Structure 1
Amino acid sequence: MARFKLKESKKELTSYAGLALIGQCLEVVNVEALVDGGIPVSQGIKTSELVKTTVGLLSIGKSDFEAVEPFREDRFFKQALAVRKVPGSVWLRQRLDRVSGSLLEPLDDCSVRLIERTEAPITPHKGYVCLDMDTFVMDQSGTKKEEVSRTYQGVDGYTPVAAYLGNEGWCIGLELRPGRWHSSLEIDYFLERLFPRVERLVAPSLPVLLRKDSAFDSAKLLFAVADEKIRWAAMARGFEYLIKWNPRKQDKTAWVEQAEAAGAFVEKRPGKREALMTLNVDRAWKKQTRPFRLVIRIIERTTNKHGQMLLLPDVELEGWWTSLDEPEETVIERYRDHGTHEQFHSEFKTDLDLERLPSGKFETNDCLLRMGMLAYNCLRLIGQLGLTGNLAPIRHPAKRRRLRTVLQEIMYRAAQVIRKARQWWLDLGHASPVAKVFAYLQKRLVVQPGFASG
């Protein structure tokens, strides 16, 4: 096998050319205006530079504080992210510990600004812009970090709550929560912060469909989303909800008898029958009672798929609270697509390497997670604009690209860094397949007309 000879030169190279596009995303957001005004410093590194540095690291899949050390003297890293000085790992950790509480709200606004100012595509699914909300588990086993406790998956960690908008999966809400918290605990406060962002981002002509799983089945939350529907209706806008029913201690035999009495069962195959029903159920909260539509599906199996007889019938009971005025089959089909959000959770934990949060302080980890939300949206935007159109490298058709694909195709692109005539250049190589993509993204990642540059 032929061996390559090694050579060192004075040429400046980078293996993260995509950071130049992340810097443009941060320029669109105008992090300085959002952060430095509320958290000023008399000297040294600005708070906005801490944010830019951390988001830059997260956007190339590096979540540890120590990962910043190789970039402290990297001229391209500084130029791409528009930072004067890159902090060391110790300084970065200590500064974030001090300012993390003040950064939470500005970081949330950063993600909304990015989507809003670039006029990022927010596409509906079968007529509705879907807003998917759920909690997920971040395993922190073997650590002594603040608020790490037993989660519903039986591991020690955190259970953050996240909200994703549209077919693209824009993350417009991500907050860290102690592992022991139930999914619905204090979730009404999260909704109060979430709904104005949805109202701000979604076009008035498009209706919104909120989808949640059975962990959020409570009278309090049903009343909250019903009130939100009324508020949107007053603005001549559409808002609907679809929430999985939690049957808890329901008597399945009684439900089968009720379906039989209504004549709702339909035989799907020998040994399997299915019933769909719609009920109006009164729910009570704080001395108020309201009717809610409940779609019920009952599946009874007396034989398995191989034709083997079962000793006892296997009964599957499911239900959905909804404001949709659609047939039961359509309601169930709309909820089935809700499972797509599980992929977005995994992208945070694997592609951005945020499964194990680096700090021992809860508030700092919450701040880092929201910076991860901004990095996620930056990468999602680059993927949607650059890797789904005609200029993209040849791949299978898709309505969105996974963050890992964006990292491999764009972020981890090698280039030669050239500075001449007081200008910075990136030499992507001869006949580079992504050179046109880079050029297009540089033109597209700017504040769109109609938005102030401040």
Structure 2
Amino acid sequence: MNFDIELTSTPITSHAGLAFIGEQLTEAKFEHHMQTLVPGPTRSDRIPDADLAKTMVGLICCGKPYFDAVGDYAGDPYFPHVLGLSRLPSAPILRQRIEALPEEAGKAFRGFTTRLLARHPQQLTEELHGEPYCPIHIDVTPMDNSGSAKEGVSCTYKKFDGYAPIFAYIGPHGFMLDNQLRAGKTHCNGEGTLEWLKQVLKRAEAASSTRRLLVTDAGHDAADNLLLFGQTADTDFVVKRNMRRDDLAEWLKKAKRQTSDQAREHIDCGACGYYGQGELPLPGHPEQRLRVVWRAIERQASPDGQLLVEPEITIEAYWTSLDWSPQAIQRFYEKRGTSEQFHSELKTDLDLERLPSGKLQGNQHVLDLGMIAYNLLRLLGQQMLGSGLVPGRKSQSKRLRLRTVMQNLIYMAGRWISHARQWCLRIFEGHGWAQAALSLAPD
């Protein structure tokens, strides 16, 4: 080696970007709400519940969502200072106290999330067909926790043991509005889903005054859900229809009657698409009729030209309150696949697939704190993009992946200096993302 390696007493941090996380976490209402979870007098040396929550959010933002990781920062003055902690908890205390938080703690975490989103309404709105909408995508994604004996872990529809949480993402960039951790065997529209959907719609109304557009798959094609969506003020919906018991050939005939030769869609050399629309009664509620649009695909040959013995029929139908054309509804729903990327960022970028607690309620709290970390990282990424200072082609992107924010902002190196009772964080001016990071600093 042509250089020496030495230890220094000068505080140097490898996660300078946590300063911006700590700035966003400073909220008196959140701290007060957390204090009310433990009524009555407490020990003077007791670490506040709000500090435990902030510690966990900080760890998740660093990609370390497990309790033992707090030991990595035991001798680091920077980590507790920028997160506003009175004292850094040990790993056993962090685990015990997070798992012991009452169910009401979820209201504090969701309240903070809703207020955070409400402060940035421009991030939640997009223009669709000339009208501003606040899209809400609801989806279930399994979390693989195979080989563990955690409470609630059971066989998911992906045929591995784990959890089956449901998520609601709001806005075009995928901020998380709400979540619910559920046992792996729970059906996507299982018990309690309707109440959870009501909660999501209330939180969406509190977060944005823009008209909401709720989108979900066929797993939530239930009359009670559709009635809820239709009766909620300032809310439109697109819900994929479950076609399991329908005669697909009949739907194809109806679409052919409504589609002219000029409007017929050429899928590939062996398939054509036809579009239809109409009104159908809700199952169990014949007096209630809703608009249904659909695309029928008739395949006579495989994409490589091999003729099929019998045509294959595929129907993609949607319940909707929108007056858009069937083609526009189809194109809009196809973009819903982006929500799968949001799941991926949560489970891989934040490493939250294998939750750290053995208790279901403890893992729910960790997932709620993960929601806060997820939204803070997403917000920082969007704010840097808006500054126009993000280097390279990323400045042309609509959204920064969480991993990109973590690698270039959270993991940014800095020098932590104390002088004249003042603290200063110095970042190397030659760092490509230094100017983008400075754009986040409060005036």
Normalising by structure 1, we get a TM-score of: 0.90
Of the three residues 247, 250, 274, the one matched with 2:243 is 247
Aligned length: 432
Of the three residues 136, 146, 149, the one matched with 2:154 is 149
**2:424 aligned with 1:425, yes or no?**
yes
C-alpha distance in structure 2 between counterparts of 1:202 and 1:297, whole Å:
32
C-alpha distance in structure 1 between counterparts of 2:441 and 2:120, whole Å:
12
Letter in 1 for 2:140: T
Letter in 1 for 2:157: Y
Q: How do residues 361-400 of structure 1 correspond to structure 2 at under 5 angstroms?
A: 361-396=359-394, 397-400=396-399
Cα pair distance change 1:4/1:312, threshold 3 Å:
farther
Of the three residues 160, 170, 177, the one matched with 1:172 is 177
Q: Which residue does 1:70 correspond to in 2? A: 72
Of the structure 1 ranges 65-74 and 423-432, higher mean CA displacement relative to structure 2 is found in: 423-432
Deviations for 1:182-240, whole angstroms, at most 9, x for unmatched residues?
1111211111211122112223xx32211001111111111111111xxx1xxxxx321
Letter in 1 for 2:228: A
Normalising by structure 2, we get a TM-score of: 0.93
Letter in 2 for 1:82: G
Query: In the alignment, is the contact (CA less than 8 A) between 1:13 and 1:415 conserved in 2?
Result: yes
Q: Per the alignment, in what secondary structure is the counterpart of residue 126 of structure 2?
A: coil
Q: Which residue does 2:275 correspond to in 1? A: 276
Query: Per-residue deviation at 1:113?
Result: 1.6
Letter in 2 for 1:69: G
C-alpha distance in structure 2 between counterparts of 1:20 and 1:120, whole Å:
24
Query: Per-residue deviation at 1:338?
Result: 1.2
Of the structure 1 ranges 251-260 and 194-203, higher mean CA displacement relative to structure 2 is found in: 251-260
Of the structure 1 ranges 306-315 and 134-143, higher mean CA displacement relative to structure 2 is found in: 306-315
Query: In the alignment, is the contact (CA less than 8 A) between 2:214 and 2:238 conserved in 1?
Result: yes
Cα pair distance change 1:260/1:384, threshold 3 Å:
closer
C-alpha distance in structure 1 between counterparts of 2:339 and 2:127, whole Å:
14
Deviations for 1:73-116, whole angstroms, at most 9, x for unmatched residues?
32101110011111111111111121142311111111112222
Q: Which residue does 1:113 correspond to in 2? A: 115
Letter in 2 for 1:67: A
Query: In the alignment, is the contact (CA less than 8 A) between 1:157 and 1:179 conserved in 2?
Result: yes
**2:194 aligned with 1:188, yes or no?**
yes
Query: Per-residue deviation at 1:382?
Result: 0.6
**2:217 aligned with 1:218, yes or no?**
no
C-alpha distance in structure 2 between counterparts of 1:362 and 1:267, whole Å:
48
Q: Which residue does 2:299 correspond to in 1? A: 301
Query: Per-residue deviation at 1:270?
Result: 5.6
Query: Per-residue deviation at 1:418?
Result: 0.4
Cα pair distance change 1:267/1:329, threshold 3 Å:
closer
C-alpha distance in structure 2 between counterparts of 1:48 and 1:267, whole Å:
56
Of the three residues 315, 318, 333, the one matched with 1:317 is 315
Structure having greater relative contact order (Cα 8 Å, sep ≥ 6): 1
Long gaps (5+) in structure 2: none
Cα pair distance change 1:303/1:118, threshold 3 Å:
closer
Query: Per-residue deviation at 1:271?
Result: 4.0
**Identical aligned pairs, as a percentage?**
34
Cα pair distance change 1:315/1:264, threshold 3 Å:
farther
Query: Per-residue deviation at 1:37?
Result: 2.6
C-alpha distance in structure 2 between counterparts of 1:437 and 1:57, whole Å:
23
